[in-house]
Chains A and B, each alone.
Chain A
Amino acid sequence: MRKPFAITLDPGSSLANHTGSWRTLRPVYVDRLPPCNHACPAGENIQGWLFRAESGEYEAAWRALSEDNPLPAVMGRVCYHPCESACNRAQLDAAVGINSVERFLGDEALRRGWKFAPPAAASGKRVLVVGAGPSGLSAAYHLARMGHAVSIHEAGPVAGGMMRFGIPKYRLPRDVLEAEVRRIVDLGVELKLNAKVDHILKTMRAGAFDAAFLAVGAHIGKRTSIPAGASARILDAVSVLRSMEGEEKPLLGRRVVVYGGGNTAIDMARTAKRLGATDAIIVYRRTREKMPAHDFEVEEALQEGVMIKWLSTIKQAGEGALVVEKMRLDETGFPQPTGELETLEADSLVLALGQDVDLSLLENVPGLEVDGGVVKVGPNMMTGHAGIFAGGDMVPSERTVTVAVGHGKKAARHIDAWLRGTAYEKPPAHALAKFEKLNTWYYSDAPKTLLPVLDAVRRQSTFDEVQGGLDESSAQFEARRCLSCGNCFECDNCYGMCPDNAVIKRGPGQRFEFNYDYCKGCGVCAAECPCGAIEMVPEEI
């Protein structure tokens, strides 16, 4: 072999030098659980669908979203968005407006007529769903997509449950609700209206159902014993809100007092204002901090001229007036009477003190247990009677639309497994993506986009929707405020900043992998990963 003067070796590449053996720490790609996903009662993969929305793939985003929740346009209006309370971005500037992006996607889907993918192969099993509220609709949707034949029996004349008969129009326009219900029915779900189930076992037998999901909700307004004169006009909020859906609007008078401190009380007072009441007054026995209603709704109600009497109870109801007693909070935060009385003029008193469940369809069901007015269910949402599952407001839980939708999904998974003779195993959850894991240097400064709000005058007199939606560019802007906590969004930092070219870029959507032959374990990739999706683990030496 001829070589130049004084040369004895052939030229070689440093690739022969496997510097990976220097490593004491090994970088590993991980997916962590974003706090929004963790907080979502409906179990949405929020970071996942925002990722699609960021690049303008709205249909893909909507499909990812509706994998878990078939009612995005509804949810984008009525959800109390615990995701936003958990959002890591709140520690930078303000939480990502997840709810408004969800609404945009939901509305976009309706506008463009996107349909759900048809169900998988038919399983041959029949499932009865009792109640067409959020929980029942959610369960029906998931069960249908799993290939089961689903029939919803709804006692009322229209579907929607509390979304229809509890939530006022100014928060949820009915055409939006109807369109999202229709899309579920279009999957092949049978919807029977005015079909009250009197006895669950009989109905199951008659329809040859293999399993049932009960989701009748809680529709009976709680009463309290208030000494009242014969002429006092006392109503309950659930009935009044329900009658808003009929032809005959309820007659409440000019001065309306609402008793209670939950979201229903707020809805009731705002509805009264819109019906023409000059005064809509909420009487609540504790303070604003203790009020169960969500603060932004209290705020909106106050803007519309609703008045709230804190630390007050109603002692007596008479014609045209109420006797109210002042309260004070004791050391434990519980209200105690002070004996101080005052008179409050009122044409009607509406009670919003919570709701009970109509359990009449469950009489004589072996094994089924009721506790405190609600049905007991196991971790798999099944009641004590095999094959009968329950969810939504009729089981012990927080009573919101989002929780109900989550119940529907969870129950559907367990019903599906039960019908197949197996048990549903929840995949292990990733570790939480905490703020401390992020490298926030890399995120652009971007304040939250505010939603347009209807002006106060129109809010006091009409049932037009109060909150507007985002247009496309603001929705995309808002989606792009997402930090993608704990999940790689392909920013190329690891690939670009490795001093040893030991990160392999696999191409769009394919993420990256480490080349451990050359990775020296310096940890720059993990330190500079914006979203905390790389972990350094000790190497076994």
Chain B
Amino acid sequence: MMRVFTMEFQKIKRKGIFTTIAILLGVQCLWGLWSFGRMSGEKLAQGWFQCLYHFPILNAIMMPVVIAVLVSRLCDVEHKGQTFKLLETIIPAETLFHAKYLCGVIHVTAIALLQVFMILAFGVIKGFGGPIPWDKILFYLISTIGVHVTILLLQQVLSLHFANQMVPLTVGLLGSLAGLFTMFLPKGVGKLLIWGYYGVMMRVGLNWDPSTRISDFYYVPVDWLGVFLLAFMFAGIYVYGRRSFARKEW
């Protein structure tokens, strides 16, 4: 397994995947500098709320497409070289499936970790009000990784199944759009789609007064039903995806 896993990293050598991640984080960092750089007074006092509210929205817009691109890069290399048949004569299909998945998981976990470091850096440098809400930030990190890896799994199943990478990328795009929209709809709608879980897992709510145009943030409790549903979806996609890949004729 370890050998197959390290092979995955050799396959993506010079494929620009780390550049993609760096660009993604760069865009998020620029967004942060642009929006937090101008903050002062009241807004700065609610800085942690602002971060925990806006970064999930950024994730919902960007991450499904970024994950689709990442997975497509990992799987398309086999489709292009028509190497599945060859590889499956040497290693079990499940091992290949797991190796590719773990490779993707490492990338998305790195993205989430770096994003949290970025949030903490913004908070400390700009001097957000109040102590660092470690528990909320830790939940944000874990839940974000949870949603990332579930979407990653779905994208991998699609990217392995369809030689035409247009299909998984379109699904990623539509998912991203649907996930973003569900954030503005009742929370139950978001629970129906895996891309909606960036919103479901949010620990911050927003009260916006249209007459005064003042927004007020508040913490919301963990949506445990959402956590279980996400875990259930993950298990379902994993069981189906692993089986369908192992049984596929190339």
The answer to whether A and B assemble together is no
Residues of B near any A CB (own CB < 8 A): none
